[in-house]
């Protein structure tokens, strides 16, 4: 990496690489930016018992380090989507007596949930080598989620803002062969600090929060990554990420997000 030619961000990345004291031929830093397609499925009983779905475009960026003794990384994930259900098609707040509430309020319908998710995840894994190509990472992760939902109750907009911090174990087998790399990461939350705050357009809101082991919150992520390096410094990533979480207060919510992304990676 030539500092004179490098972009400003390279200073930071080189510093990180230096701090990490990488060893061996397979040690390298990597930064990637990916986008693709995400299929989201939401069942949040604070909103209703309906299932809301939508395909949208996620954006993710990640810094990772693969050292001889360890793996670590930080990932940012962003998803914005207008989830919809068809389970209440045909329902209307009107009848023989007239229309009481319009079908659309500020462009919003009773079938819609506006969803936004911003996720930050960091992991650190010890690396165990099985042979020249196959190794296994064992460690843990910490994750912070910002999730905002907006939906209608009668003609009032409701904001449901969720904040989750969770930690748990992660296992990550990695297979590297020349320009090809397969990586699979499975992680599940064990401990969580979470809050959900519902704020209607008018009047009193509701907030629930607390810390728990498994009881209130549970999240699991399964991630498969195939990387191909064109050169020592540039490559592509193809990711399939399956993410599920549930939170039980004040009413149970469940969400599945399946992502298929393609990204550009820079190694140094």
Partner 1 sequence: MKLIRIKYIYTFLLLVILFSACDKALIEPNNSSSPEKNFEIFWNDINNTYPFFSYDHVDWQTTYNANRSLVNASTSDDELFEIFKNMLRPLLDGHISLKKPNGETWANERHYQYYSNFSFSLVRTKYLNNKVNFVTAPDYSDKTKTDTIIRYGFINSNILYFNVGTFLTNLPIRDTLRNIVNRNPQLIGVIMDMRSNGGGILSSAQKLASYFTGTNQLYGYIKNKTGPLDNNFSESYGLYTQGDALGSLGTKPVAILTNRYDFSATEHFVMATRDLPNVTTIGDTTGGAFSPIIQRTLPNGIQYTVVSSITTDKQNNVFEKTGLAPEIYKELTNLDFLAGKDPLVDAAINKIKQ
Interacting residue ranges for partner 1, rule: CB under 8 A: 39, 41, 43, 46-51, 87-98, 100-101, 133-134, 153-154, 156, 158, 175, 177-178, 180, 182, 184, 198-206, 222, 224, 226, 240, 242, 244, 250, 254-256, 258
* Whole-angstrom Cα Rg for the chain: 22
Q: Considering the complex, what minimum distance in angstroms separates the CB of residue 138 from partner 1?
A: 18
Rounded (10°) CA dihedral 166, 167, 171, 174:
70
Q: How many angstroms separate the first and last alpha carbons of the chain?
A: 7
Please work out, in degrees rounded to the nearest 5, the angle formed at the alpha carbon of residue 156 by the alpha carbons of 91 and 246: 80
CA distance 244 to 160: 18
CA distance 109 to 89: 11
Q: Do 189 and 220 contact (CB within 8 A), yes or no?
A: yes
When the beta carbons of 205 and 210 are compared against partner 1, the nearer one is 205
CA distance 38 to 179: 27
When the beta carbons of 18 and 228 are compared against partner 1, the nearer one is 228
Q: Considering the complex, what minimum distance in angstroms separates the CB of residue 162 from partner 1?
A: 14
Q: Single out the residue of 30, 56, 124 nearest to residue 260, CA to CA.
A: 56
When the beta carbons of 1 and 173 are compared against partner 1, the nearer one is 173
Q: Considering the complex, what minimum distance in angstroms separates the CB of residue 20 from partner 1?
A: 27
When the beta carbons of 128 and 154 are compared against partner 1, the nearer one is 154
When the beta carbons of 41 and 114 are compared against partner 1, the nearer one is 41
When the beta carbons of 6 and 102 are compared against partner 1, the nearer one is 102
Q: Considering the complex, what minimum distance in angstroms separates the CB of residue 233 from partner 1?
A: 21
CA distance 154 to 163: 26
Q: Do 40 and 115 contact (CB within 8 A), yes or no?
A: yes
Main-chain phi, psi angles of 103, to 5 degrees: -65, -25
When the beta carbons of 6 and 210 are compared against partner 1, the nearer one is 210
Task: Provide the token pair at 265.
Answer: 């990676």
Q: Considering the complex, what minimum distance in angstroms separates the CB of residue 173 from partner 1?
A: 9
Q: Considering the complex, what minimum distance in angstroms separates the CB of residue 15 from partner 1?
A: 34
Q: Considering the complex, what minimum distance in angstroms separates the CB of residue 191 from partner 1?
A: 21
Q: Characterize 193-213 residue by residue with b for buried, 16 or more Cβ atoms within 10 angstroms of its Cβ, and e for exposed.
A: bbebebbeeeeeeeebeeebe
């Amino acid at each position: 990496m030539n500092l004179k030619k490098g972009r400003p961000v390279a200073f930071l990345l080189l510093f990180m690489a230096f701090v990490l004291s990488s060893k061996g031929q397979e040690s390298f830093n990597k930064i990637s930016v990916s986008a693709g397609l995400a299929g989201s499925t939401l069942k949040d009983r604070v909103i209703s018992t309906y299932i809301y779905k939508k395909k949208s475009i996620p954006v993710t960026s990640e810094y990772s380090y693969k050292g001889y003794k360890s793996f670590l990384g930080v990932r940012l994930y962003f998803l914005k989507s207008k989830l919809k259900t068809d389970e209440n098609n045909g329902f209307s707040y009107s009848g023989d007596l007239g229309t009481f509430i319009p079908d659309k309020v500020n462009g919003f319908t009773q079938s819609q949930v506006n969803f936004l998710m911003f996720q930050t995840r960091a992991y650190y894994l010890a690396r165990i080598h099985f042979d020249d190509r196959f190794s296994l990472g064992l460690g843990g992760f910490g994750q912070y989620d910002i999730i905002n939902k907006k939906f209608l109750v009668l003609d009032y907009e409701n904001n449901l803002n969720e904040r989750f911090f969770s930690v748990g174990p992660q296992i990550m087998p990695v297979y590297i062969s020349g320009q090809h790399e397969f990586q699979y990461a499975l992680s599940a939350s064990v401990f969580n600090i979470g809050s959900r705050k519902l704020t209607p357009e008018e009047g009193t809101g509701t907030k629930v929060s607390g810390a728990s082991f498994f009881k209130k919150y549970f999240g699991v992520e399964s991630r498969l990554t195939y990387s191909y390096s064109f050169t020592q410094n540039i490559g592509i990533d193809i990711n399939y990420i399956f993410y599920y979480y549930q939170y039980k207060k004040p009413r149970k919510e469940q969400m599945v997000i399946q992502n298929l992304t393609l990204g550009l990676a820079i190694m140094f």
